[in-house]
Chain A
């Protein structure tokens, strides 16, 4: 299997622009997680899905952030409008059922100027 695929790997944008991050999970994995990692806040869970349904979005920082999973093969995390404080590495991870193991994608390094 190709593992979790994320795109783009790097994104540089200006404040106020819309940013869309994409994730393709490992086939057959029922759970999909979006994380954000910064030096100050560490690795934070933003939202996760089970069978394409959002289960817990309590980590989504504010209304500027939204996530969707229209089908089992694709998820997006959108930031609109983006702000410099959104600069971070965003990881998508997936797991099988309520597995103890999560498989992380390579991440998207976002820089908002």
Chain B
């Protein structure tokens, strides 16, 4: 089968750095994505790693290592508004070779405290 594992909850203080890990048991995927979801809201795209290594977008960075079946999302200079759920997802090929679907992890709830 295919599964992605994330910690269920993480707590950190404002201004700190937090890393949310994602380990997976799947192969043959296009890349690893991260989505943010505030309570009662819709998931929104944060970052994507198609290749191994680090991708940086402002305060957020994401990392992928296919050889270790592992990725992470790094949030720096935490703000109260970063309190949300964070989902990792792999894009799996399906149907014809040019299509894919996202398989989501269960999500990590991040609580940022003052």
Q: Which residues in A have some Cβ–Cβ distance to B below 8 Å?
A: 31, 33, 42-45, 48, 50, 55-56, 91, 93, 98, 100-107
Contacts and interface: CB of A to CB of B under 8 A. Distances in A.
A84 B98 CA distance: 37
Given A100-B91, A101-B48, A43 B101 contact: no
Contacts, number: 53
Contacts of A100: 30-31, 33, 48, 50, 91
B74 interface: no
Interface in B27-56: 30-31, 33, 41-45, 48, 50
Interface residues of B, number: 25
Contact of A103 (B45, B94, B104): B45
Interface string B58-100: 0000000000000000000000000000010001001110111
Contacts of B98: 98
Q: State the main secondary structure of chain A at its contact with B.
A: strand
Interface of B: 30-31, 33, 41-45, 48, 50, 87, 91, 94-96, 98-107
Contacts of B50: 100
Contact of A43 (B30, B43, B91, B99): B43
A102 B45 contact: yes
Given A56-B101, A102-B102, 13 more contacts: A31-B99, A33-B102, A43-B87, A43-B104, A55-B95, A55-B99, A56-B94, A91-B42, A98-B30, A100-B48, A100-B50, A104-B43, A105-B42
Contact of B44 (A33, A48, A55, A104): A104
Contacts of B41: 106
Contacts of B45: 101-103
A42 B106 CA distance: 6
